[in-house]
Structure formats: structure tokens, C-alpha cells
Amino acid sequence: MELIQQLVNGISLGSIYALIALGYTMVYGIVRLINFAHGDVFMVGSFVGFYAVTMLGVGFFPALLLAMASCAVLGMIIERIAYKPLRNAARIAVLITAIGVSLLIEYVTIYLRGAQPEAYPSTLLPDRNLKLFGVVISSQSLFILGTSLVLMILLQFIVHRTKIGKAMRAVSHDAEAARLMGINVDNTISATFAIGSALAGAAGVIFGIYYTKIEPLMGILPGLKAFVAAVLGGIGIIPGAMVGGLLLGVIESLVSGLGYSLWRDGVAFVILILILIFRPAGLFGKNVREKV
Amino acid sequence: MATWKRTRGFWVSVILAFAFFAVVEWLIASGTLNVFYVNTLFFMAINVMLAASLHLIIGITGQFSIGHAGFFAVGAYASAVMTMKLQLPFAVGVLTAGIAAMLAGLVIGVPSLRLKGDYLAIATLGFGEIVRIALLNIDYVGGASGMTVTHMTTWPWVFACLFVTILVIANFTNSTHGRACISIREDEIAADAMGINTTYYKVAAFAIGSFFAGIAGALYAHHFYIIQPSNFGFLKSFDILIFVVLGGLGSLSGAVVAAVLLTIVSTFLQNYPETRMIIYSIVLILVMLYRPTGLMGTKELSSLFKWRKAAQGGMNHGGKNTVA
């Protein structure tokens, strides 16, 4: 029973990682960039949700939508200002810019509102515990799982059934050829950043409800772990990010359940290094040889 | 005579370095420099060592490593354990710090054989975090509350370590091995095709770079009185990375100058940590947008004085501008 309890916790946590990982994997798939600032977009989403609830007094879903919308705008602004001028620059320059953007968002947030943590209102979602064969499932974790699932299905729909999704897949496959076929590559990249950042914003609100405590530097660790999840599933592959996120959440919960909760954060990075050494393309990826 | 001409620059720098040492020693002994300035000077030297050692890995070999604080931490804790727990002399502590960090460098150098660019960056970042989390969970070294360390770092120690670091890294860069490393940075596949043992040189760069980061850690630990895992998070790694990147990826003197200047800037902004980080990040973004090779590119400070010779068709080692 203990094991199943940990599985349930792990799936709730994993769905948050999966939502953030989707943004990483989409951006990486389309511009081959590790968007270090993604974890901070997640943090901004969490704060937007918090202020929407406490100041505007709205409910869960309006707060979620507001956070997603503002994160989408933020993601597009970051892309336009910081990443677009570097589209043909050396990879190292882009990666360092991403680190710079990440630090900038964190410390501007601290500058604006201070570094003190904030407590998420706990009355946002109905809190009832559901007992199922001795396993306690809170209604909150069901809500979290449900929201994540809906968002992921929506994303699958966008990517596979709509015109912009088709453009995204084309640009990710070959940006030059896509341009020749009349696809507006810049707009497609903007849309990718917008969708990825909106998912991160949603994850931020959900994270706030799940952990109740938010602070300006909270994006760093979940951001890195979500990246690990994206790599685990195979970066650039959307179902890979979902599976990777869920897997990572479950592994972390199991490690905590075994009594090594202090080592939990370390396990994610050990998994990262192991997967990079033994299967760099991830669980779902194919190996591609570099051509001279 | 020909040898003297070739090595003249080197001996002049050595003599200048020792003159600098003597002047500072005299200023400290006579009490002209107060504790605040001595502190700043020591931090400057430690940061220069860190920047120089990371420069060897990123700037020369093109291996994008952003977990340098991990090696720094290994060195700091290894030396602290030697001197505080085992009561061994400081010299043993410093040496152990270097060797322990070098072993860590070998451990992370081996995965680097299979990883490139972004993936290596994220793996080294993960390594740095693993070191921090491990230190946090080992009770022998005090866990989150850290270890208290007695003050043993003195100016002769700092100078000697700094001198050896710069000497080794500068001479390594100009040796056959350094050329091989630079060729790996420019194009790994081409270097491999030319018969360079890329595996060997990448691991060697990691080992040497982490050795000196470990020694810097030993000096830091014995200067700071207390070391905690939170001092070695990846913000520290980013700090070191910023020295190397701003100075110019591939320029040792650039990294040194950036480390010195930024240490001064951050000392003055110590009371405004948020502002400091905002300025840092904006500068980082602007430099990457408008000058992606860093302020100095791959040029060295000394080549600024050699422009006449270069114009006459002499050796110009500032031609290349690509990294990774």
C-alpha cells in the first residue's frame, strides 16, 4: 500500500515536471536551444497566479488562464529580445545568453517584490481526501493530474491537428526547407515559445497549489529537473517529455519513500548523467551521427 | 641570444610578478593595507585561479563545463578535512585539495568523451549539484551547517598558488599539448582526423583545470573560516563562467582581467546583491548579443603591444574567433 501511495504522489509531482518539460522539449526541438530561462517563466507563472487569486480574488481556472497568457507573452518577449538576434550565432553564446536571461528574471523579481516566500491560498481547490483500497488520494492531486492531462491532450491536438502545429513540425524537421515552402519561421518559433511558456505558467500555478510555498528562486530546481525529464524521454520528442516527467516524479517519490528524501534532488542529476552516458538520445530517441 | 629573445617576455613577467609580490608583502607587513583590502586581494586571487582553470577547459579545449563550483567545493572540503579532522599541515591540505579535485575532474572528464556542447554543459551542471547535495548529506563534514576552518591562507601561499596556476596554464597553452587542445576547440572531428588523441586531451584539460580549481578551494576554505555547501551552488559556477565569458573565450589574460574587475565591482556592490546580479545578467546578455566572443576574443593582453610585429607578418595568434 505504501508503494502505491508513493506512486500516486509521484504521478502528481511528475505531471508538474512533465508540463515544464514539454516547454523545454518543444523549444529544443525547434531551435536547438536549452532555454535556461524556462524555469523562471514557470516561477513568474506561479506568482501571476498567486497575485490573481489574492488581489483580484478570482478562482482557480481564471488564475490558471491568466498565468498561462502572461507567461506566453513573456516567453515571446524573451525570444524576440534575447534569442532571435543569436539565431545563427555559436551555440555557446546562445546558452550563456539563456543563463543571463534566467538570472535577470530571478533578480528583477527579487528587486521588485523582495526574496521572501509567499504562501499559496489553500482554499483554491476543494480539499477532500478520497480513500481507495487504503490509498489516500487528495482531490487536489486529482485536479492537478486532470489539468495536466487536459493540457497535454490539447497540446497533442495543436501539434498534430492544426496548421501552426504542422508548421512547427516542419520547422523542427528542417527550418530552411520550411522557409522555402512558405512557412513563416519566425512566427512559428514565437508560437512555440508562447505555447511552451504557457504550459510552464500552468505548471507554476499547479506547483503553488501542491507545495503551497512559492519564492523567486523556486524555478531553478524544478526547471533543471524538468530538463532532466526532457532528456530522459529524448529531447525534442513531445511524448518523451511526458513520460520522462512522470517517470522522474515517480522515481523521486520512491526515493523519498525509501527514506532518502534528502538525496532526492541528487537522484535526478544522477539519472541525467547516466542517461547522457548510456543513451544520450533518451528513451524515445534515435541516435543520429554527426556528419563532417 | 636567440633563446633570450624568445623568452624575454616570459622572464620580464616573472620578475614583475615577484616585484608585485614583494610590494604587497611589504604593504601587508607594514599595515598599510587593512583587512578589507587584503580580503579583496585574496578573493581576487582565488577568482583569478578559478577563472584561469575554467579558461583551460572552456576557452582552450572548448569543453563547455558549467559545474566548476563542484571542483572548487571538492578542493575546499578535501583540504578542510585534511587540516581540521586529520590535523595535517596546510601544505598537505592544499595538495590533497588539488588531487581530490583532479580525480573528480577525471570522473567528469570521462562522460565528456561522449557528450558535446549543451549536453556536456548540462551534465557538468548536474555534477556540480550532485557534489553540493552529497556534501549537504555527509555528516562527517557537517552537513548543511558546514565546517569551521582555521585561518591559514597567507599572502605568500596565495601568491605561490596563483603564480603556479598562471605559469602552468599559460605554458600548457603554448605547448604542443595546448595546440592540440585548441585544435579540438576549433573542430573536434577535424582534429581527430589529423591524428590528435581527442579523448586524451579533453580528459587532460579537465584534470588540470579541476586541479587548480581544487587548490583555489583550499585557499578559499582556509581564508573564510567556515565553508557550507550553499557557498558552492551553481550561482558560484555561473560567477566563474561569467569571468571567462566576459574576458573572452580563449583569452587567459582576458579571463584574469575580468576576474579582477568583477571581484572589485562585486565587492563594492556587496550591500546590494540584487542590483549586482541584475547588472551581471544584463552585461552578460548584452556582451553575448553584441560581442559573442567576449571582450577580448581570443587575443591576449600582450598581443596588444605586438601589433607592429603582427602587421609585418609576424606570428599573430589572435586570428581565430570561434569557440565550440
Q: Is residue B111 part of a domain?
A: yes
Identify the weakest region by mean pLDDT among A240-244, A288-292, B43-47.
A288-292
- Among A56-65, A197-206, B97-106, the minimum mean pLDDT is found in A56-65
In a domain, B46, yes or no: yes
Residue B132 has pLDDT above 60, yes or no: yes
pLDDT band at A75 (very low <50, low <70, confident <90, very high): very high
How many domains in chain B? 1
pLDDT per position as a tens digit, B107-126: 887 776 777 777 888 888 88
Q: CA dist B84 to B57, B87, B89, B224, Å?
A: 31, 5, 9, 14
Top residue of A107, A116, A220, A248 to mutate, by most chain B CBs within 10 Å, is A107
Average pLDDT over residues A143-172: 90
Q: Which residues contact A110 (CB under 8 A, 6 or more apart)?
A: A216, A217, B274
pLDDT at B202 over 80: yes
The complex scores an ipTM of: 0.84
Residue range(s) defining the domain that contains residue B48? 33-234
Minimum distance, in Å, between the CA of residue B281 and any CA atom of chain A: 5
Q: What percent of chain A has pLDDT over 90?
A: 41
Residues on chain B touching A116 (C-beta within 8 angstroms): none
Quick one: pLDDT at residue B210?
A: 95
Separation in Å, CA of A116 to nearest CA in chain B: 13
* Greatest CA separation for chain B: 63
Residue B266 vs residue B214, higher pLDDT = B214
Q: Contact A273/B130, CB-based, under 8 Å?
A: yes
pLDDT at B110: 79
Per-residue pLDDT at B1: 58
Q: Is the per-residue pLDDT at B311 higher than 50?
A: no
Least confident of A107-111, A178-182, B28-32, B217-221: B28-32
Residue A80 pLDDT grade (very low, low, confident, very high; cuts 50, 70, 90): very high
Q: Do the Cβ atoms of A101 and B281 come within 8 Å?
A: yes
**Which residue of A86, A97, A276 is in closest CB contact with B111?**
A276
Residue-level pLDDT at B2:
66
| pLDDT tens, residue by residue, B54-91 | 999 998 998 888 889 999 999 999 999 999 888 889 89
Backbone angles phi, psi at A72, to 5 degrees: -60, -45
Residue B110 lies in a domain: yes
Question: Which of A101, A111, A263 has the CB atom closest to B133's CB atom?
Answer: A263
| pLDDT above 90 for B268 | no
Sign of CA dihedral B110, B115, B117, B122: negative
Residue B252 lies in a domain: no
CB contact under 8 A, B136 and A277: no
Look at residue B143 in the predicted model and tell me its pLDDT.
Answer: 80
In this complex, the residue of B114, B115, B245 whose CB is nearest that of residue A96 is B245
Is B8 within the bounds of a domain?
no
Does the pLDDT value for residue A81 go beyond 80?
yes
Q: What's the confidence (pLDDT) of residue A250?
A: 92
Mean pLDDT of A19-23: 92
> Is A97's pLDDT higher than 80?
yes
Mean pLDDT of chain A: 87
Amino acid at A77: I
- pLDDT > 70: percent of chain A: 97
pLDDT of residue B312: 43
Q: Compare all CA atoms of chain B with the CA of A89 and give the residue at the minimum distance.
A: B292
Q: Which pLDDT score, from 0 to 100, does residue B26 have? A: 87
Using CA atoms, how far apart are residues B191 and B182, in angstroms rounded to an integer? 9
| Chain centre distance of CA B7 | 25
Query: What's the whole-number mean pLDDT along residues A29-50?
Result: 91
The reported pLDDT for the residue numbered B219 is 93
Residue (of B1, B18, B134, B118) closest to B77 by Cα position: B134
What pLDDT does A96 receive?
A: 85
Decide: helix, strand or coil at residue B147.
Answer: strand
Residue B64 with chain A: CB contacts under 8 Å? 92, 95
Is B203 inside any structural domain?
A: yes
Residue A272 pLDDT exceeds 80? yes
Looking at residue A287, its pLDDT comes to 62
Contacts of residue B89, defined as CB under 8 A and 6 or more positions apart, other chains included, come to B83
Beta-bridge mates of residue A138:
A129
In terms of pLDDT, which residue wins out, A33 or A244? Answer: A244
Chain A partners within 8 Å of B238 (Cβ): 99, 103
* Cβ contact, residue pair B323, A90, below 8 Å: yes
What are the tens digits of pLDDT across the range B143-170? 888 888 888 888 889 999 999 999 999 9
Q: Is the pTM of this model over 0.80?
A: yes
Q: A268-272, B21-25, B292-296: lowest mean pLDDT where?
A: B292-296
Position A5 scores a pLDDT of 81
Q: How confident is the model at residue B297 (pLDDT cuts 50, 70, 90)?
A: confident
Spell out which residues of chain A touch residue B133, defining contact as CB-CB under 8 Å: 262-263, 265-266, 269
pLDDT confidence of residue B177: 93
**Distance between CA A145 and CA A203 in Å, rounded?**
11
- Those residues whose C-beta lies under 8 Å from the C-beta of residue B247, and which sit 6 or more positions away, are B51, B55, B253, B254, B255, B256, B257, B258, B259, B294, B295, B296
Write down the pLDDT at residue B148: 86
The answer to whether residue B255 sits within a structural domain is no
Instruction: Please tell me the predicted confidence (pLDDT) of residue B207.
Output: 93
User: Does A65 have pLDDT greater than 50?
Assistant: yes
* C-alpha span between A290 and B35 (Å, rounded): 54
Residue B94's pLDDT band, with cuts at 50, 70 and 90, is very high
Instruction: Give A23-35 pLDDT, tens digit per residue.
Output: 889 988 888 888 8
Percentage of chain B lying above the pLDDT 90 cut: 34
Q: Least CA distance to A83: which residue of chain B? A: B289
Residue A72 has pLDDT above 90, yes or no: yes
Closest chain A C-alpha to B114 CA, distance in angstroms: 7
Helix/strand/coil for A134 = coil
- DSSP H or E run through B279: helix B273-290
In a domain, B128, yes or no: yes
3-state secondary structure B232-276: HCHHHHHHHHHHHHHHCCCCHHHHHHHHHHHHHHHHHCCCCHHHH
Round to whole Å and give the CA distance between A188 and A177.
Answer: 14
For A21, the enclosing helix (H) or strand (E) is helix A2-31
Identify residues of A whose CB sits under 8 angstroms from chain B CBs.
32, 34, 82, 85-86, 89-97, 99-104, 106-108, 110-111, 220, 224, 227-228, 231, 262-263, 265-266, 269-270, 272-273, 276-277, 280, 290, 292
Whether A211 shows a pLDDT value over 90: the answer reads: no
Residue B317 pLDDT:
44
From A165's Cα to the closest Cα of chain B, the distance in A is 26
In B, minimum Cα distance to A35 occurs at: B118
Please state the rounded mean pLDDT for residues A69-82.
94
pLDDT score of A289: 58
Spatial CB neighbours of B140, under 8 Å, sequence gap ≥ 6: B81, B85
CB count in 10 Å sphere of residue A2: 10
Confidence of residue B323 (pLDDT cuts 50, 70, 90): very low
State mean pLDDT over A137-146.
82
Residue B246's nearest CA partner among A191, A97, A19 is A97
Look at the block and give the residue holding cell 607587513: B29
CB contact under 8 A, B126 and A263: no
